[in-house]
Amino acid sequence: MREIHNIVILTGAGISAESGLAIFRGPEGLWEGHRVEDVATPEAFARDPVLVQRFYDARRENLKRVEPNAAHAALARLDEAWPGGLLIVTQNVDDLHERAGAKRLLHMHGELNSAWCRACDMRMAWSGAMGGDPACPGCGVAGRLRPDIVWFGEMPYEMERIDAALMEADLFVSMGTSGNVYPAAGFVQTARYCSARTLEINLEPSIGSYLFDESRTGRAGELVPAWVEEVLK
Ligand code: OAD
């Protein structure tokens, strides 16, 4: 088997589920009572900015009440201890990976705690409410801030860096993601094409489960720490 030097990890909502954050595609296909399309598209924001800001303001507030779980902690430990290349690509907009201590991390779908001013194009840390049309601290224009989150139909962040890491990867691990949303759902194919070994860890087999060399089903809070122990042994 190929020696493992470079690891790429993709995380999704399932990694934060045991911290108490709702996943997107629950049993009723609703996210906190909303269809994803009604709160996660540029069209939804144009149609009803008050609803969309209220929705993300509530998510941002809720983030202050939750803590990283054992899966986040294990990945932070791997990040600190792994001597080779490592990149944690998260689809999550929460900050639980970094609060657990992960450093080699990127948020491909943006961050709840970031604002993007459509007047001056500046992005800035933002921990309070964005509803009520606050002014941009950079340019002073009011009412032009939006959550710095990649919505459906928009281009995820840092794709070049992700593709470069996938091409160099010896091991690709996908955790807590249902495999519904591209381009993230296609990373396993890129990694395989570049000869990486592939592993999935999820509560249930994802849509693309058959594409992985190995699929482990169960809770991230148990399986991720166990896998990190294996890798660091
Ligand atoms: P989903 O809600 O689609 O999938 C979460 C997956 O986590 C499901 O397959 C669950 O079975 C699994 N899961 C739940 N609890 C778990 C646990 N304790 N341990 C392990 N797995 C668990 O969320 P994502 O795949 O992350 O995009 O969704 C991808 C994107 O869709 C999100 O980033 C978001 C959304 O629209 C944007 O906002 C752009």
Percent of the chain with pLDDT over 70: 97
pLDDT band per the 50, 70, 90 thresholds, residue 95: very high
pTM across the whole model: 0.96
Q: How many CB atoms lie within 10 A of CB 33?
A: 10
Q: How much is the pLDDT for 126? A: 98
Residue 159 contacts residue 184 (beta carbons within 8 Å) = no
Q: How much is the pLDDT for 132? A: 94
- Please state the atom number of ligand 1 nearest to the C-alpha of residue 24: 2
Q: Dihedral sign for Cα 192, 195, 196, 197, please.
A: positive
pLDDT band per the 50, 70, 90 thresholds, residue 38: confident
What residues act catalytically? 109
Q: Any idea of the CA torsion for 121, 122, 128, 129, to the nearest 10 degrees?
A: -10
| Ligand 1, pocket-test mutation among 15, 25, 155, most atoms within 8 A of CB | 25
Q: Kindly give the pairing relationship between strand 110-117 and strand 105-107.
A: unpaired
Pocket of ligand 1 (CB under 6 A): 12-14, 17-18, 23-25, 36, 40, 91, 109, 150-151, 176-178, 180-181, 202-204, 206, 219-220
